[in-house]
Structure 1
């Protein structure tokens, strides 16, 4: 994209991911060699939320952006107002971190030829009819989006460019690229998130604490069935996720987590025709809370929910996210791990949100700097089907990746299954 006049619009600007993304943009303006610097130095940054924060909040938190920020407050369900904003603001890139309907937002961008990137699929109709889709909400979101995906011809859009989905597809692509003649039997996205309050007395009983949206976490943890892909087909275990554990080893890292549905499980499993799954461990407090309420998990929706925000109280722990490729006689892995204290000292956010923001930054750079064709791309499709520098952009802020190999294999999903004691 050669035209640098105009603006970037960020949706859901008052949320946690947006705060992390804005922290990165705040840093961009201190480095003239940053890939986004030529765009950011000349553009307006429109921040939209249905319940907007005060301008003083953004100016204090992101001082380098104060001359670029313009605030708007309206409900994105009103797509006419949104489209009018896009035209009047001369927006050339929409960064969607809201809970607005993805199909509706992409439609508006496609109508006007505006680039678009987000971190996850959202569907307001599915959200409003959870009882109908209980057990399978992500499957319905994917099905509805897939039905529309190829009809968008006038935008270049990257769907799901956060950490997972997002960076993990790049990790899988990088590992498989090193051994192109040997397709793995399985590819598992793995996450161990030990983020919690440094002073555990800050925690209250019967509160769901997570390092990202608790509502979205519970969609995976208690509303959905455990799911994995095999031969391009989603398979479900008719258990609650927290009834089962699945063990993984990444060198000196070894842990068990729950099997949950995720966008990249679908896209990687379909693209490469290998078994895929997402194995996730969260902090012990929330794990135990769910385990204690397995007899009636719907009661958890009535509990207080809170994001672990280091601006409220200091956090300890870290978030490890990576990929495990499984072969008949070995396993190969790649992961990134970020420490909450280190991330907060530099970017004033938690490790999980910052990892997501790194993937978002890479997607934004690719849309603005790479010559991408028109169309809708998941990150794995972007890497396979286009000429891009996604990995180089990613490394601008996500510096460390640990890779290695296990000399033996623990097998595929059903080989790893274990009933929780």
Structure 2
């Protein structure tokens, strides 16, 4: 963006991901070596939410940028109001971490030539259509793909968080180790054992996750297990928590469930390798889901809580990475962040901070890199442009672990077990 003054509009500013984005931006403006220090030190930030927080909340989140923030409260489905906001504020970058319709937000930004970032595909119509249960992610992806070609007047990075986002970069980094050898499979892997240190505060009939419980349940109980094979989606007609899949990362091993995810589709479409997302959450939530397979719909009516270290101290960590399977070996790359260390410096949980690192990578790319106009998933961004995405995200996300297994557990159906407490007792 050269020397243009950056005016940022953040959609969904009252949410959990936003807190972590704020934490990074507030660090950025204090660090002259930060890649985007020059831009952030002179920026204006407009914060939009349907249920807006008060100014004191944001001043505590952004103490070194409090002078730069302006609050707005309106419904992003009101596209006329959103367009007026973009025009009136002269917004130069939109960061969308809301539940607003992705295609509608892109349409508004494209009309004005405004760069756009989001962390996930969203579509309210899909979410509310009961006939699509089991396939909501695939339908959101289909609608996005049908519309993306209309947007030719902007730059956009779609699905830039931890996963999707940083994991595509990790997958391509591992593939570079043996450029002449195509993996048979590429699995996004995550083991998040974050939970309260004091478990006496745990309430009955409550789902605890480190990110949006509603979005988690959409993947965990509303959709079927899905993976990509020969560039096509394949569904298993089982409950997600009915099956468990083995993951080995050197001396680390766990069993997780197969869940639908954006990066599984994009990597599986781009490369002829089996792709899937194997995810294990904390044992309390895992056991609740396994115990309620026969009445999973009732879980929507339970209490839903995000594990927030500002409310009660958390232990554990979030491990996120990739496992690439070859004929006689496996290569892996992952990042681990502990809740206690992340909270000490950034006042958020590990999961949300990992997501924010991916968003920061996208922000830096759009501010610093001369990429052509276009709509990019992160793997497309990396393969089609000269983006420094990986360098940027690594400024705050450090200590990636790489390694190799001398042997392989095979493809997904070779590593499946019937789920007993999410694989805990397999």
TM normalised by structure 1 equals 0.99
| Aligned match of 1:54 | 54
Partner of 1:180, secondary structure, is coil
- Matched residue SS, 1:25: helix
Conservation of the 8 A alpha-carbon contact between 1:21 and 1:360: yes
Corresponding position: 1:124 with 2:124: yes
SS at match of 2:380: helix
TM-superposition CA deviations, 1:266-323 (whole Å, max 9, x none): 0001111110000000011111111111111101110000000011101110000000
1:106 aligned onto 2:106: yes
Which residue of 2 is the match for residue 41 of structure 1? 41
Partner Cα separation in structure 2 for residue 240 and residue 202 of structure 1: 29
Instruction: Give the match for residue 242 of structure 1.
Output: 241
Q: Is the 8 A contact 2:6 2:93 kept in 1?
A: no
| 2:17–2:355 Cα contact (<8 Å) kept | yes
Kindly state the Cα deviation for residue 410 of structure 1 after the two structures are TM-superposed: 0.3
Q: Is the 8 A contact 1:4 1:42 kept in 2?
A: no
Residue matched to 2:18: 18
Structure-1 separation of matches of 2:150 and 2:273: 27
CA displacement at 1:119 relative to structure 2: 0.5
Over 4 Å off, 4+ runs: none
**Alignment root-mean-square deviation, CA:** 0.7
Query: What are structure 2's unaligned runs of at least 5 residues?
Result: 421-426
Distance 1:205 1:249 in 2: 33
Q: Which moved more, 1:320-329 or 1:5-14?
A: 5-14
Secondary structure of the corresponding residue to residue 182 of structure 2: coil
Distance 1:212 1:6 in 2: 29
Equivalent residue of 1:222, what SS?
helix
Determine the C-alpha separation between the residues in 2 that align with 1:358 and 1:43. Answer: 19
Name the CA distance, whole Å, in 2 between partners of 1:253 and 1:163: 20
Gapped regions of structure 1 (runs ≥ 5): none
Cα distance in 1 between the residues matched to 2:26 and 2:5: 19
Q: Secondary structure at the match of 2:395?
A: coil
Q: Any idea what the Cα deviations from partners look like across 1:85-141, whole Å, max 9, x if unmatched?
A: 111111110000000000000110000000000100000111121x11110000100
Query: Distance between the aligned counterparts of 1:6 and 1:331, measured in 2?
Result: 43
Aligned length: 420
**CA offset at residue 6 of structure 1?**
4.3
Say whether 1:190 aligns with 2:189. Answer: yes
Helix, strand or coil at the partner of 2:294: coil
Q: Could you tell me which residue of structure 2 aligns to residue 288 of structure 1?
A: 287
**Structure 1 residue 68: deviation in Å?**
0.7
Cα deviation code 1:396-420 (max 9, x no counterpart): 1001100000000000011011112
* Correspondence for 2:216: 217
1:379 correspondence with 2:378: yes
Please tell me whether residue 317 in structure 1 is matched to residue 316 in structure 2: yes
Quick one: distance in 2 between partners of 1:341 and 1:12?
Answer: 26
| CA distances 1:58-92 after superposition (whole Å, capped 9, x unpaired) | 11232101111111110000011111111111111
Aligned to 1:331: 330
Give per-residue Cα distances to partners, 1:148-202, cap 9 Å, x unaligned.
Answer: 1122100100000000000000000101112110010000000000010011112
With 282-291 and 327-336 compared, the bigger mean Cα shift is at: 282-291
Question: What is the rounded CA distance, in whole Å, between the counterparts of 1:84 and 1:336 in structure 2?
Answer: 41
**In structure 1, distance between residues paired with 2:60 and 2:262:** 35
Instruction: Write the distance in 2 (CA, Å) between the matches of 1:413 and 1:208.
Output: 28
> In 1, Cα distance between the equivalents of 2:312 and 2:326?
43
Alignment TM-score, normalising by the size of structure 2: 0.98
Per the alignment, residue 301 of structure 2 pairs with: 302
Paired residues of 1:226 and 1:238 also in contact (CA < 8 A): yes
Q: Which residue number in structure 2 is paired with residue 83 of structure 1?
A: 83
1:48–1:71 CA contact under 8 A, matched in 2:
yes
Where does residue 342 of structure 1 map in the other structure?
A: 341
SS of 2:255's equivalent in the other structure is strand
- Work out whether residues 190 and 280 of structure 2, in 8 Å CA contact, stay in contact via their aligned partners in 1: yes
Deviations 1:326-378 (A, max 9, x none): 00100000000000000000000000000000000000100111001111000
